[in-house]
Amino acid sequence: MKSNLSYVHPNVTSPWGTYLSQVDRVLPYLGHLARWSETLKRPKRALIVDVPIEMDDGRIAHFEGYRVQHNLSRGPGKGGVRFHPDVTLEEVMALSAWMTVKCAAVNLPYGGAKGGIRVDPKLLSQKELEKVTRRYTSEIGVIIGPQQDIPAPDVNTNAQVMAWMMDTYSMNTGTTSTGVVTGKPIHLGGSLGRVKATGRGVFVTGREAARRLGMDLQGARVAVQGFGNVGSIAAELLAEAGARIVAVQDHTGTIYNPQGLDLAQLIPHARQNGVAGFRGGERIGDEDFWDLKTDILIPAALEGQITAARAQRIQARLVLEGANGPTVPEADDILASRGVLVVPDVICNAGGVTVSYFEWVQDFSSFFWDEDEINQRLDRIMVNALNQIWDTSDKHRITLRTATFAVACERILTAREERGLYP
Ligand SMILES: NC(=O)C1=CN([C@@H]2O[C@H](COP(=O)(O)OP(=O)(O)OC[C@H]3O[C@@H](n4cnc5c(N)ncnc54)[C@H](OP(=O)(O)O)[C@@H]3O)[C@@H](O)[C@H]2O)C=CC1
Ligand SMILES: O=C(O)CCC(=O)C(=O)O
Amino acid letter, residue 212: R
pLDDT at 421: 87
Active-site residue flag, 114: yes
Task: Burial-class residue 276 by CB neighbours within 10 Å (0-12, 13-18, 19+).
Answer: middle
pLDDT at 10: 83
pLDDT at 9: 72
The model's pLDDT over 402-421, given as tens digits with 9 standing for 90+, comes to 999 999 999 999 999 999 98
Distance CA 151, CA 116 (A): 10
The β-bridge relationship of strands 341-343 and 77-84 is unpaired
Q: Residue 354 Cα, ligand 2 centroid: separation in angstroms?
A: 8
Distance CA 369, CA 318 (A): 33
DSSP state letter for 302: -
> Quick one: what percent of the chain has pLDDT higher than 70?
98
DSSP state letter for 7: G
Beta bridge partners of 223: 247, 297
Distance CA 384, CA 389 (A): 9
Pocket probe for ligand 1: among 230, 232, 287, 297, the residue whose CB has the most ligand atoms within 8 Å is 230
Closest residue CA from atom 9 of ligand 1: 323
ipTM value, please give it.
0.98
Q: Helix, strand or coil for residue 59?
A: coil
Q: Residue 239 Cα, ligand 2 centroid: separation in angstroms?
A: 24
DSSP 236-262: HHHHHTT-EEEEEEETTEEEE-TT---
Beta bridge partners of 48: 66
Q: In this structure, are residues 331 and 307 in contact, taking their beta carbons and an 8 Å threshold?
A: yes
pLDDT at 3: 52
The model's pLDDT over 55-106, given as tens digits with 9 standing for 90+, comes to 999 999 999 999 999 999 999 999 999 999 999 999 999 999 999 999 999 9
Distance CA 18, CA 115 (A): 19
Question: What count of Cα atoms within 13 Å lies in the side-chain half-sphere of residue 365?
Answer: 9
Distance CA 309, CA 287 (A): 11
Query: Where in 168-230 does DSSP place strands (E)?
Result: 221-225
| Nearest atom, ligand 2, residue 356 CA | 1
Q: Which regions in the chain score pLDDT beneath 70?
A: 1-8
pLDDT at 1: 45
Pocket probe for ligand 2: among 99, 148, 196, 202, the residue whose CB has the most ligand atoms within 8 Å is 99
The closest ligand to the CA of 305 turns out to be: 1
Task: Burial-class residue 60 by CB neighbours within 10 Å (0-12, 13-18, 19+).
Answer: exposed
Q: Is 76 in the pocket of ligand 2 (CB under 6 A)?
A: no
Q: In this structure, are residues 402 and 29 in contact, taking their beta carbons and an 8 Å threshold?
A: yes
Q: Is 301 in the pocket of ligand 1 (CB under 6 A)?
A: yes
Amino acid letter, residue 77: G
pLDDT at 56: 98
Q: Residue 29 Cα, ligand 2 centroid: separation in angstroms?
A: 26
Pocket probe for ligand 2: among 83, 102, 196, 356, the residue whose CB has the most ligand atoms within 8 Å is 356
Q: Is 284 left (phi over 0), alpha (psi -120 to 50) or beta?
A: beta
Q: Is 96 in the pocket of ligand 2 (CB under 6 A)?
A: no
Q: Is 388 in the pocket of ligand 1 (CB under 6 A)?
A: no
The model's pLDDT over 261-285, given as tens digits with 9 standing for 90+, comes to 999 999 999 999 999 999 999 999 9
Q: Mind listing the domains of the chain with CATH numbers?
A: 45-177 (3.40.50.10860), 195-348 (3.40.50.720)
pLDDT at 329: 97
State the distance between the two ends of the chain, measured CA to CA, in whole angstroms. 22
